């Protein structure tokens, strides 16, 4: 009992601090996002602004308001950026780790070289890559060193988009993606022999896909077609981000590879596994937990990205816009504090979607132990 009281007293200050400075302010931000702060210029920057409750109006404007087209493109940008950044970083990191794990000459040197970019801040990386990606210099003139004609991809300055879709199709695509994920879960449950999970995931996936294919196609968020897509200007940003963070995944994977007991590998060899089979059936499954933690770390970096794009393309350039940048623009330049807060809440939800399942599964594991 006494121990408990001491423990409680010791924890109390940090609980109070976290309660006020994290959850308290999240709560305040939520309230601001439901208010009209910024709509009325006489109140926007008054000493004591009087706020009106407007419910979900700010969110509605962001997703289907006429002037917030830039927010929608920024969301599309963020999704593509996150996908390609994670895939690139994990893939390159794994390749580097496997190469280094084979113990080439100068391994320690290369390990440092690959890890070094992580020591830089995104602002430094962004500035360097901004120079490298100038259309008339840097990367584009690289081939001329070997006597080839220069590239002429305009990198950050292009306005071209690929994989263009109509924003009105968003509910359909979202439902499709979630439905397919659920279907995958069902398949896994089936393999694991978990009847109950199989049933529920199959049912919800079926309903969702049915809705997507019938009613979902007819929902119209906007009265007109609004094309959005993957803007190619992001390729340069992704390149810089992958360059910076792949050393980190390399370090993680290298530690994982080194942690695999030699006996297991030898047992696989004795069983006659080829090299590829060893990787596919022994090493990669053992690296899965590392991939998961790397995904969480990279995922939340990608979702909150701001400084890299700020340094590479500035705030005013829509083709490389992400929600965090648009939030800053709206709140601190345009005085639209409520709408900025709404974007903040949306970003929090996005990151929570990545982090909370991970934390939950970790906690469950700890309890089991």
Partner 1 sequence: MRKWLLAIGVALGFSALAQTGKLEIFSWWAGDEGPALEALIRLYKQKYPGVEVINATVTGGAGVNAKAVLKTRMLGGDPPDTFQVHAGQELIGTWVVADRMEDLTSLFRQEGWLQAFPKGLIDLLSYKGGIWSVPVNIHRSNVMWYIPAKLREWGVTPPKTWADFLATCQTLKRKGLEAPLALGENWTQQHLWESVALATLGADGWANLWNGKLKFTDPKAVAVWDTFGKVLDCANKDAAGLSWQQAVDRVVQGKAAFNIMGDWAAGYMSTTLKLKPGTDFAWAPSPGTSGVFMMLSDSFGLPKGAKNRQNAINWLKLVGSKEGQDTFNPLKGSIAARLDSDPAKYNAYGQSAMKDWQSNRIVGSLVHGAVAPESFMSQFGTVMEIFLQSKNPQAAANAAQAIANQVGLGR
Binding footprint of partner 1 on the chain (CB under 8 A): 38-39, 41-47, 66-67, 69-70, 130, 134-136, 154-157, 159, 313-319, 328-330, 332-336
Is residue 228 classed as helix, strand or coil in its secondary structure? strand
Please state the closest distance from residue 121 (CB atom) to partner 1, in A. 17
Please state the closest distance from residue 41 (CB atom) to partner 1, in A. 5
Structure-block tokens of residue 132 = 């490298």
Phi then psi dihedrals of residue 163, to 5 deg? 55, 45
Pick 61 or 247: Cβ nearer partner 1:
61
Pick 256 or 319: Cβ nearer partner 1:
319
For residue 366, how far is the Cα from the chain centroid?
Answer: 26
Pick 316 or 366: Cβ nearer partner 1:
316
Pick 158 or 291: Cβ nearer partner 1:
158
Pick 43 or 204: Cβ nearer partner 1:
43
List, in sequence order, every beta strand (DSSP E) within 210-318: 227-231
Residues 318, 303: Cα–Cα separation, whole Å: 17
Q: Which residues contact 79 (CB under 8 A, 6 or more apart)?
A: none
Residues 232, 162: Cα–Cα separation, whole Å: 7
Pick 122 or 248: Cβ nearer partner 1:
122
C-alpha dihedral, 151 to 320 to 350 to 301, nearest 10°: 60
Pick 153 or 279: Cβ nearer partner 1:
153
Please state the closest distance from residue 317 (CB atom) to partner 1, in A. 6
Phi then psi dihedrals of residue 328, to 5 deg? -60, -45
Please state the closest distance from residue 148 (CB atom) to partner 1, in A. 21
Q: Which of 303, 296, 305 is nearest to 350 (CA)?
A: 303
Please state the closest distance from residue 156 (CB atom) to partner 1, in A. 6
Please state the closest distance from residue 46 (CB atom) to partner 1, in A. 4
* Exposure class string for 86-107: b at 16+ Cβ within 10 A, else e: bebbbebbbebbeebbeeeeee
Contact 81, 237 (CB under 8 A): yes
Tokens 């994920």, located at residue: 181
Q: Which of 231, 235, 242 is nearest to 125 (CA)?
A: 242
Structure-block tokens of residue 10 = 């010791």
Please state the closest distance from residue 350 (CB atom) to partner 1, in A. 22
Please state the closest distance from residue 351 (CB atom) to partner 1, in A. 23
Q: Which of 352, 332, 340, 329 is nearest to 29 (CA)?
A: 340
Pick 86 or 321: Cβ nearer partner 1:
321
């Amino acid at each position: 009992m006494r121990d408990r009281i001491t423990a409680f007293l010791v924890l109390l200050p940090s609980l109070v601090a976290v309660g006020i400075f994290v959850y308290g302010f999240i709560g305040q931000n939520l309230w601001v996002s439901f208010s009209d702060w910024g709509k009325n210029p006489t109140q926007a920057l008054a000493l004591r602004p009087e706020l009106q409750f407007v419910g979900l109006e700010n969110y509605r404007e962001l997703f289907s308001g006429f002037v917030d087209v830039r927010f929608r493109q920024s969301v599309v940008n963020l999704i593509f950026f996150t996908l390609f950044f994670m895939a690139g970083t994990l893939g390159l990191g794994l390749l580097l780790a496997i190469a280094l794990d084979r113990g080439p000459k100068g391994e320690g040197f290369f390990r440092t070289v690959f890890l070094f970019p992580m020591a830089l801040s995104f602002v430094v990386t962004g500035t360097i890559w901004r120079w490298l990606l100038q259309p008339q210099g840097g990367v584009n003139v690289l081939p001329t060193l070997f006597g080839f004609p220069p590239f002429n991809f305009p990198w950050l300055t292009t306005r071209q988009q690929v994989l263009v879709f109509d924003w009105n199709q968003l509910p359909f695509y979202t439902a499709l993606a979630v439905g397919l994920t659920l279907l995958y879960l069902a398949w896994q449950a089936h393999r694991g022999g978990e009847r109950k999970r199989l049933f529920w995931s199959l049912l919800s996936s079926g309903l969702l896909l049915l809705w997507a294919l019938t009613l979902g196609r007819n929902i119209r968020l906007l009265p007109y077609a609004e094309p959005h897509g993957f803007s190619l200007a992001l390729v340069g940003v992704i390149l810089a981000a992958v360059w910076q963070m792949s050393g980190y995944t390399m370090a993680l994977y290298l530690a994982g590879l080194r942690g695999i007991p030699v006996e297991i590998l030898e047992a696989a060899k004795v069983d006659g596994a080829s090299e590829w089979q060893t990787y596919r059936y022994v090493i990669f499954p053992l690296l899965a937990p590392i991939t998961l933690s790397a995904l969480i770390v990279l995922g939340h970096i990608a979702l909150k990205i701001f400084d890299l794009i700020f340094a590479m393309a500035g705030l005013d350039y829509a083709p490389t816009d992400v929600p965090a940048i648009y939030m800053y623009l709206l709140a601190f330049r345009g005085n639209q504090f409520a709408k900025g807060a709404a974007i903040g809440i949306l970003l929090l939800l996005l990151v929570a979607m990545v982090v909370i399942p991970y934390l939950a599964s970790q906690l469950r594991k700890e309890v089991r132990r």
